[in-house]
């Protein structure tokens, strides 16, 4: 499913988290020392609260050992948020033609390190495409998972934004996952973000592409297609006109896209990898143990993803010498090397951080890999735990974010798992949990998703048709919030349908399709509806009900 990037992590949230990690404090420790509640700190870091009061910032400054310029920056950022959202409502975007300007870029990585050469090469690549005056201007950024393609594409897109005043789109293609996004779904999202009403969006891929092309023909738009599976997925999405540019990231070079500019991203150069450790834990610590830092980055395969996880572990333990982590990593790397072959150094880095988690946090990490879709909410993650548990799932997820095992997603209040970490978490599930337990958790999650989706669908039935009136749930209580839930969680509930079908749990699918039959007029994409109703028809046949089947065929 397409992931609509709406809200974003706030600047103040990014800064606060950075300062807290630098101070080596957990949210609880900071709360105890500052008198600001854990909830308030968590909300600020996640961007839920974006404009804290002056005195809140002042209370945090001492325990975080902030310099005066850092305090001033926090105050400034809080003031900016207040000015931008006087009533807490999103700012209305400037309008061009008849549609809003699309500004979908996720926030830039504030501590992106190195890559100066690559940024320059990328800039030249874009220039060549632009001055070449081609109609299909495309640049492909390729490289192995975890090398920093997405981060670099986002940086480049922010840098280039001024050249594309009609908007910047960021679309997740999920090429590495089992459920890559269909081209039709992506184009549907492009049209929605251009302000096209859902009832005017065509169904056929060809028509979708045609409409996108004509709408974008005159505009200067930057389109980032993140994580493309192959050329076949990208080709129908090249809809930008002569003033637009498409920046694609992929683990493949996509040689079949003729005329595209290309840049391959490798792991970091040694000195840049060491610099990244310094950015995260402070250069003093790196300089104090220079030789050890050299070994640390090599143990991480100079892969930015692994370095970030290892260095965050050091950042939250200011008293640890680097050598302590390195000797742990050496031992683990040797042990894993004896067991398997492949990307072992990287695995050892993940494994070491994973082993330091509390059992409950480790369970959350393993189990969030069971949530289908590209990102997830706190509420969905909560379903994976035993309902009687008192633990606050927000805080557990924040612990995982602190360890860089889970990332904050661009959409506010949502989280995401990097593909490599998702594979790692799935392996852990197989290794650490009983297969029966995993099946039960997955089933429980799927049933909950179906229950919510079915309840949400009922909000769209016409009054005359209300055999089962809609009821409020903990996730939504009216048609608008039900629609938002269905859109944000489409990847999750459509994934649940596939798993239910594979398990032969057809009743729930038929019930969902029944409840949903009016919703397509309000949301979702043609591909999604085809999948839901086609599956529901098969399910009805398998349930052996002629009546159900007849209803589905209509
Ligand atoms: N140059 C860099 N400096 C700092 N962190 C980086 C850099 N490149 C990547 N990262 C970090 O590494 C992780 C993986 O990066 P990402 O861009 O998602 O990789 P990819 O898209 O190639 O899989 C992210 O946590 C990101 O913050
Ligand atoms: Mg990526």
Looking at residues 304-333, what average pLDDT do you find? Answer: 88
For residue 268, give the ligand 1 atom closest to its CA: 1
CATH architecture entry for 359-433: Orthogonal Bundle (1.10)
Query: What b/e string do you get for 155-165 counting C-beta neighbours within 10 Å, with b at 16 or more?
Result: bbbbebeeebe
| pLDDT interval class at 410 (50, 70, 90) | confident
Q: Given this model, what pLDDT does residue 394 score?
A: 87
Q: pLDDT by residue (tens digit) across 492-505?
A: 999 999 999 999 99
Question: What is d(CA 226, CA 532) in angstroms, rounded to the nearest whole number?
Answer: 26
Least confident window among 178-182, 356-360, 482-486: 178-182
Closest residue to atom 8 of ligand 1, CA basis: 148
Residue closest by Cα to atom 15 of ligand 1: 148
Distance 474 CA to ligand 1 centre (A): 35
- Judge whether residue 21 has pLDDT over 90: no
pLDDT for residue 460: 86
* C-alpha 360 – ligand 2 centre gap (Å): 28
| Cα angle 420, 422, 428; round to 5 | 105
Residue-wise pLDDT for 350-381, tens only, equals: 988 898 899 999 999 999 999 999 999 999 99
pLDDT digits (tens, 9 = 90+) for 423-480: 899 999 999 999 999 999 999 999 999 999 999 999 988 765 567 778 888 899 999 9
* Domain boundaries of the chain, sorted by first residue: 11-84, 115-265, 270-355, 359-433, 436-553
Q: CATH classification of 115-265 is 3.40.50.300, yes or no?
A: yes
> In the structure, what pLDDT confidence band is assigned to residue 227 with cuts at 50, 70 and 90?
very high
Cα–ligand 1 centroid distance for 7 (angstroms)? 21
pLDDT at 545 over 80: no
252 pLDDT higher than 70: yes
* CA 88 / ligand 2 centre spacing (Å): 31
**Residue among 116, 148, 270 to mutate when testing ligand 1 (max atoms within 8 A of CB):** 148
pLDDT of residue 554: 55
**Residue whose entry in the numeric block shows the structure tokens 């891929």:** 205
103-150 pLDDT tens trace: 889 989 989 999 999 999 988 888 887 777 566 689 999 999 899 999
Give the ligand whose atoms come closest to the C-alpha of residue 268: 1
The protein residues having their C-beta less than 5 angstroms from ligand 2 (an ion) are 150, 227
Nearest ligand, measured from the Cα of 225: 2
Q: Tell me the best of 302, 305, 401, 419 to mutate to test the pocket of ligand 1, counting ligand atoms within 8 Å of each CB and taking the most.
A: 305
**Phi, psi dihedral angles at 236 (to 5 degrees):** -65, -10
- Most informative mutation of 151, 280, 424 for ligand 1 (most atoms within 8 A of CB): 151
* Stretch among 25-29, 124-128, 190-194, 461-465 having the lowest mean pLDDT: 461-465
Ligand 1, atom nearest to 153 Cα: 17
Closest-CA residue, ligand 1 atom 13, reads 305
d(CA 313, CA 228): 31
Distance 500 CA to ligand 1 centre (A): 35
Residue % of the chain over a pLDDT of 70:
87
Residues flanking ligand 1, CB < 6 Å:
109, 111-115, 143, 145-151, 276, 304-305, 308, 418
Residue with tokens 């994976």: 384
What spacing in Å lies between the alpha carbon of 460 and ligand 2's midpoint?
36
DSSP-derived secondary structure for 192-224: HHTT--GGG--SSHHHHHHHHHHHHTT---EEE
Atom of ligand 1 nearest to the CA of 226: 21
CATH architecture, domain defined by 11-84: Orthogonal Bundle (1.10)
Q: How far is the CA of 408 from the centre of ligand 2 (A)?
A: 14
Whether residue 278 is predicted with pLDDT greater than 60 in this model: the reply is yes
Helical H segments across 133-200, by residue range = 149-160, 183-193
Ligand 1 atom nearest the C-alpha of 418 is 18
Give the distance (Å) from ligand 1 centre to CA of residue 109.
Answer: 9
Task: Check whether 232 has a pLDDT greater than 70.
Answer: yes
How big is the chain, counted in residues?
A: 554
* CA nearest neighbour of 146 among 345, 5, 10: 345
Distance (angstroms) between ligand 1 centre and the Cα of 110 equals 11
């Amino acid at each position: 499913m397409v992931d609509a990037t709406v809200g974003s992590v706030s600047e103040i949230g990014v800064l606060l988290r950075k300062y807290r990690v630098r101070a080596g404090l957990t949210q609880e420790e900071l709360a105890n020392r500052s008198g600001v509640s854990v909830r308030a700190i968590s909300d600020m870091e996640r961007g839920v609260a974006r404009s804290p009061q002056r005195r809140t910032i002042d209370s945090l400054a001492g325990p975080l050992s902030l310099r005066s310029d850092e305090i001033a920056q926090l105050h400034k950022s809080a003031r900016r948020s207040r000015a931008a959202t006087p009533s807490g409502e999103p700012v209305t975007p400037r309008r061009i033609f008849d549609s809003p300007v699309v500004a979908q870029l996720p926030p830039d990585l504030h501590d992106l390190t190195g890559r100066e050469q690559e940024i320059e090469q990328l800039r030249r690549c874009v220039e060549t495409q632009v001055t070449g005056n081609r109609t299909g201007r495309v640049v492909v950024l390729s490289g192995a998972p975890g090398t920093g393609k997405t981060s670099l594409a986002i940086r480049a897109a922010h840098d280039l934004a001024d050249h594309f005043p009609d908007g910047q789109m960021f679309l997740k293609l999920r090429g590495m996952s089992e459920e890559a996004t269909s081209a039709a779904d992506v184009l549907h999202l492009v049209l929605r973000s251009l302000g096209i009403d859902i009832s005017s969006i065509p169904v056929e891929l060809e028509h979708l592409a045609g409409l996108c092309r004509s709408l974008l023909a005159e505009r200067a738009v930057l389109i980032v297609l993140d994580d493309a599976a192959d050329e076949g997925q990208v080709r129908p999405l090249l809809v930008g006109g002569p003033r637009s540019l498409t920046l694609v990231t992929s683990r493949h070079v996509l040689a079949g896209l003729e005329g595209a500019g290309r840049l391959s991203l490798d792991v970091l150069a040694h000195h840049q990898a060491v610099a990244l450790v310094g950015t995260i834990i402070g250069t003093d610590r790196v300089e104090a143990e220079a030789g050890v830092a050299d070994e640390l980055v090599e143990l991480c395969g100079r892969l930015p993803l692994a370095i970030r996880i290892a260095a965050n572990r050091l950042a939250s333990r200011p008293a640890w010498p680097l050598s302590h982590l390195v000797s742990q990593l050496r031992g683990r790397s040797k042990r894993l090397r004896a067991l398997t072959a492949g990307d072992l150094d990287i695995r050892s880095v993940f494994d070491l951080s994973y082993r330091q988690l509390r059992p409950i946090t480790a369970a959350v990490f393993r189990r969030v890999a069971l949530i289908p879709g590209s990102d997830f909410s706190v509420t969905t993650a909560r379903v994976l735990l035993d309902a009687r548990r008192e633990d606050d799932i927000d805080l557990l997820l924040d612990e995982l974010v602190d360890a860089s095992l889970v990332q904050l997603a661009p959409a506010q209040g949502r989280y995401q798992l990097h593909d490599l970490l998702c594979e790692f978490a799935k392996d852990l599930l197989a290794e650490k949990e009983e297969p029966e337990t995993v099946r039960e958790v997955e089933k429980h999650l799927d049933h909950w998703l179906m229950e919510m989706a079915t309840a949400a669908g009922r909000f769209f039935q016409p009054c005359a048709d209300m055999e089962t009136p809609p009821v409020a749930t903990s996730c939504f209580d009216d048609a608008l919030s039900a629609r938002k839930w269905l859109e944000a969680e489409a990847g999750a509930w459509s994934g649940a349908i596939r798993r239910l079908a594979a398990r032969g749990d057809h009743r729930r699918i038929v019930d969902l399709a029944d409840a949903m039959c009016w919703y397509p007029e309000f949301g979702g994409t043609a591909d999604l509806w085809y999948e839901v109703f086609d599956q529901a028809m098969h399910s009805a046949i398998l349930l052996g009900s002629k009546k159900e089947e007849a209803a589905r065929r209509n």
